[in-house]
Structure 1
């Protein structure tokens, strides 16, 4: 397969750890440095590479209100010297060397700032590091930011999914009457996007990059969102659907009546 590397024209990088409670060190190692390493290695061994896609998350901008912005995360809560390319690399290296072990939880909290978890923070750092290195990739780089990725709308089949993480887990366990209470605000709009729609966005972005002018005339990084923002439903809609579905198709071994009550 090695000779075929010369024929590869597109790189789609979607690997990541989505464990929200991962340590800062582990999240930065996998999601931040890992992403830079993949694209840097690809640039070195794929001579025909014409487009690269990095799949991030819309929640790198979770500190913003309103419609999502196609800007890169500012990381403005970090010290000015930590936001430069060299400073950010040095910060990540210090964390990976164990600096948080001696500084305690206060330093970890400072690094996270308003980010709700290490996943969002590490993906934001990843975007900044990739943007700093974009010129070395020798091809257009795009970042695709899905919101909450849910079950398929149509392909490969309606409702297809291969995990029960996050929103999928809440839907499954509420419908099976295992989970009866939900912690959250029912009027909030979760903004989920079907996984096949997310994949289609990535394919459209690839097509756009391949049809665009040569790299010197393009911005170093372009950002796209995969979202149902204008059509988003609320968490209450999700809970009501789960209860209705469970009433119409009750599980064979139900222990409880269907319920989707919210608690703040």
Structure 2
């Protein structure tokens, strides 16, 4: 049996979604670990006033490539990387005839990662990008006589209407052609009205269109080897290229970023539930291994893998509840606006009540100070966006899924010993509290752009914020005491017994 590196050596790769969180990590892994790869074609959308080559230059500046650039310079590392102007949301992927001819004669491997991940997107947008975008990729694939494998990035939540899911393709929830016609003919207003009925048991437009996209891949299984990888919530890197690396603000790293600044102080979670998180480097390894297996065995049937943790190494917020605030003060931000302290609440209602005191009121105050200082107030806008999205996220916050990953475990054993080490799929040794320690530092460095060299100064500021925070609490309690005494006409010294329960209640809120 050949090894994974040998399989990809010399092969020309077409990658969609290269500028995204997963896509850029996949690109880095290929460039760093498969030195004899062929040409890599990145599909990128042109941006107004910016040449496509400039977007590649921007990509190279991402910190994810620092490890790679220590081994070789940027020019050498990217010498076989080419940018192709296009868009999965356009007919023929927005490709010119020249580029289509180039790609269909060159491509050996396709990684389709591009998608819209916004749960609030309209059906028109998600059908065009997630469903039709996938169809357009398969239409290109059908024109490639030298194609060895197509790897499609799906999501474990495409079957979110089920609480226990296997690595198999489930029946389509609606007829894809009928949905495409509906989207094309209805007005935006009418489509919005009919969307709930179309979704049925699906929680949003993302999951239903990604589900239908899997059936587009299924149609190709007899034409060329194809495989689907379903990651759950993708979070920062466990080991590669740097522990804690991330550019995504979705999920835990986004909460940690906000908590580090002192502006996010409540997190709505059910501490005892299993939350399915998976590090981005494990997803990358899964994609490469899945493509290797399907391509090297010349698979004639669609292969599906769950890249998930719920049944292999389950995570509960309870496991890091006592440690999370320690991590925030171990790696404080120099840009923090208040003393970080996060608490978990077990309902959206309690979150909104609590957030009024710890999010909204401070945001109004800090935005006012920012505005009169000549800055741009953004905190209220941030919290309004969070509150708006809570309704869409509630199902994912308070539901526990079980994603079986038997085939993924078997795929790991298919790899030889060297590949198992270099393209690890086994997450059994991941220790979640240790990982979150690393993720907190990663969020600091890569999301908040606060390098480790500022830690000493940041810790001094953190100490000052600690005293300011406690003085603020004392001041508010005294104010409550004063107002209570005036309201009931009591002497302040005589009303102190009432201060204890009122103060305790206030402290529990903030």
The question of whether the paired residues in 1 share the 8 Å contact of 2:107 and 2:147 is answered with yes
Structure 2 residue aligned with 1:19: 118
Give the SS at the match of 1:145.
Answer: strand
Work out which of the residue numbers 22, 26, 29 in structure 1 matches 2:128: 29
User: In structure 2, how many angstroms separate the alpha carbons of the residues matched to 1:50 and 1:74?
Assistant: 27
Alignment of 1:106-255 (within 5 A): 107-131=194-218, 133-135=219-221, 138-213=223-298, 218-219=300-301, 221-229=302-310, 230-252=312-334, 253-255=336-338
TM-score (norm 2): 0.45
User: In structure 2, how many angstroms separate the alpha carbons of the residues matched to 1:61 and 1:25?
Assistant: 20
Superposed displacement of residue 5, structure 1: 4.9
Superposed displacement of residue 171, structure 1: 2.5
Give the SS at the match of 2:247.
Answer: coil
Work out which of the residue numbers 151, 157, 170 in structure 2 matches 1:73: 170
User: In structure 2, how many angstroms separate the alpha carbons of the residues matched to 1:116 and 1:62?
Assistant: 7
The question of whether the paired residues in 2 share the 8 Å contact of 1:73 and 1:127 is answered with no
Superposed displacement of residue 75, structure 1: 3.8
The question of whether the paired residues in 2 share the 8 Å contact of 1:193 and 1:226 is answered with yes
More helix by share: 2
Shift in CA distance, 251/103, structure 1 to aligned 2, threshold 3 Å: closer
> Is 1:43 aligned with 2:126?
no
Q: Deviations over 1:18-73 (max 9, x none)?
A: 111101111111111101101211321x220010011000001212223x311213
> Is 1:56 aligned with 2:158?
no
Q: Deviations over 1:221-252 (max 9, x none)?
A: 22111112221211343554432211323333
Q: Deviations over 1:140-176 (max 9, x none)?
A: 1111100111101111100111221233212321233
The question of whether the paired residues in 2 share the 8 Å contact of 1:57 and 1:146 is answered with yes
Superposed displacement of residue 180, structure 1: 0.9
Superposed displacement of residue 119, structure 1: 1.2
Between the two proteins, the alignment pairs up a number of residues equal to: 246
Structure 2 residue aligned with 1:102: 190
Q: Deviations over 1:183-224 (max 9, x none)?
A: 2322222211111110000111111012214x5xx22x2211
What residue ranges of structure 2 are gaps of 5+ in the alignment? 1-81, 83-98, 348-510
The question of whether the paired residues in 1 share the 8 Å contact of 2:109 and 2:147 is answered with yes
